[in-house]
Chain A
Amino acid sequence: MVARRGPDRDAPARFPARDASVRFPDRDAPARVPARDVAAAVPDPELPMVTVADLGILRDVREDGDSVTVTITPTYSGCPAMREIASDLRRRLERAGYLHVTVRTELAPPWTTDWITAEGRLKLAAAGIAPPDPAARRAVPAGPVPLTLTAAPRAPVPCPHCGSARTTETSRFSGTACKALYRCEACLEPFEHVKDH
């Protein structure tokens, strides 16, 4: 039987450049979970039922050998969870075998609730938090931002508990900057709504 040689790791690379999508067979290194998958599984510290990928906070993951650069974006200027998210990303990626992890912030374009994925919306609703309606967010018109002195005519926010559309906004601000407080007039339960932003 002819012994087959494995890939020669000292041979010149057969590919022009190493990129994350090309997995080299490397029998000495433990199998690593792709950095994107590790990063995408990080839960939001304040909404742990959804991940940073579900929320659209995770903007980019670049893998280069042992190094990973993750780009995240804040939901609101004052979001206190950014630090926790960055630490959590760093810790998980290091555990997954990446030796050099850089987490950077990107501000533009600004985050909007439109970036919350369909799966993220379902997870929020399942946890009793009414998700934002992508269609309801105001289109950015040219000129001054219109003032809304009364409840804006918008699609009702359905109750995540009973599904009724008879709901009332009790406060535009809630336990976190990204949520508003609502009450359902049918089942009388209060609930939170990730407001359009």
Chain B
Amino acid sequence: MTDEYGAYQALAEESDDQRWAFGTGFTDPLEGVDTTVPPGVDGDALAAYCLMLGDDALVYSHRLQQWVTRAPELEEETALANIALDLLGQARMLLARAGRADGSGRDEDQLAFFREEGEFRNVRLVERLDADFAELVARLLIFSAWRLALFEALRASADPVLAAIAAKGASELAYHRDYAARWVVRLGDGTELSHARMQAGLAVVWPLMDELFTPHEVEAALPGVAPAVREMRGEVDAVLDAVLAAATLTRPAAAPLAGLGGRTGRDGVHTEALGYVLAELQSVARAHPGATW
């Protein structure tokens, strides 16, 4: 042991630290990081872009957390909680980056708890509550394969903060993708029942995949900062094909889910499911504004 004086003991001491327990009270995840917007980069567009990627992680993290106490085995529960935690960490940094880039000074809590549904910029893929474990791993496979490809490209972003967040997140996402891929193979190449349910799970999430590769005006306004999402498709398709082949599954023949007049999650147009996520996520913060925990 290093010594007797630990972080837990310190909580009991008289200090200006108002927290009541370990792990409570969040500070700025980018404390001390130089968040100056690089010259030539549109700060508002950068903030909007960080919100897109941050909201994807925030909403999906919440959906994954809802599996805790409901997973089939303790090991899976731990895995899902850890994946959710990684994504929450990514979301915190991205939201903090957004609040600095647009000059609004909004912190992660203001952005997470006090925006309305139409202000969220996440893709619709992350909104729905999974009907079963097969649907969960199908969604996680698509999401993490896509996000990993995107984060690998973002390592070279002209915004050094975004590049650093992506470099950090990429190795986490590689674990998430492998976890999902192994379960898809295990269920797909399993029993007749598990195969059928895995195929059905894929069919549910497949229509939401196109949105991940649809270019958006915010990305177009950030040359050198935001990679072209359309170019990720080849790499993601190759990963999905390899997994599906090993899992004896087939690509669902499902048409992409249409938007509203061409507008989708990235434009603030969401499925009904997002409102339920936000109600749960935001209710405590809104009932007790200014509270700390």
Chain A contacts to B: CB under 8 angstroms: 41-43, 45, 48-51, 71, 74, 76-80, 82-88, 91-92, 102-112, 144-145, 147-149, 170-177, 181, 197
Contact = CB atoms under 8 A, between A and B. Distances in A.
Contacts of B2: 41-43, 48-51
Given A41-B2, A71-B32, A109-B167, A148 B86 contact: no
A110 B168 contact: yes
A108 B171 contact: no
Nearest to A77: B89
B87 A145 contact: no
Main secondary structure of the interface of B (DSSP, over half): helix
A88 B168 contact: no
A49 B1 contact: yes
A50 B2 CA distance: 7
Contacts of B185: 149
Contact of A107 (B22, B168, B172): B168
A109 B155 CA distance: 11
Interface string B50-94: 000000000000000000000000011011011101111110110
A79 B242 CA distance: 32
Chain B, interface residues (CB within 8 Å), range:
35 or more
Given A48-B6, A197-B171, A108 B163 contact: yes
Interface string B5-19: 111101000010100
Contact of B83 (A48, A74, A80, A173): A173
Nearest to A50: B2
B27 interface: yes
B29 to A, nearest CB: 7
B216 to A, nearest CB: 23
A172 B175 contact: yes
B10 A80 contact: no
Given A79-B89, A80-B85, A105-B33, A171 B165 contact: no
B164 A107 contact: yes
Nearest to A85: B7
Given A77-B169, A88-B7, A149-B242, A105 B90 contact: no
Nearest to B25: A83
A149 B29 contact: no
Contacts of A80: 23, 85
Nearest to A170: B75
27 contacts: A41-B2, A43-B1, A45-B6, A45-B22, A48-B1, A50-B2, A51-B2, A74-B168, A76-B86, A76-B89, A77-B86, A83-B26, A84-B7, A105-B31, A105-B33, A106-B32, A106-B33, A144-B239, A145-B152, A145-B174, A147-B239, A149-B181, A149-B182, A171-B78, A172-B79, A172-B175, A173-B179
B243 interface: yes
Contacts of A173: 75, 78-79, 81-83, 175, 179
B242 A147 contact: yes
Nearest to A84: B7
A67 to B, nearest CB: 14
Nearest to A178: B82
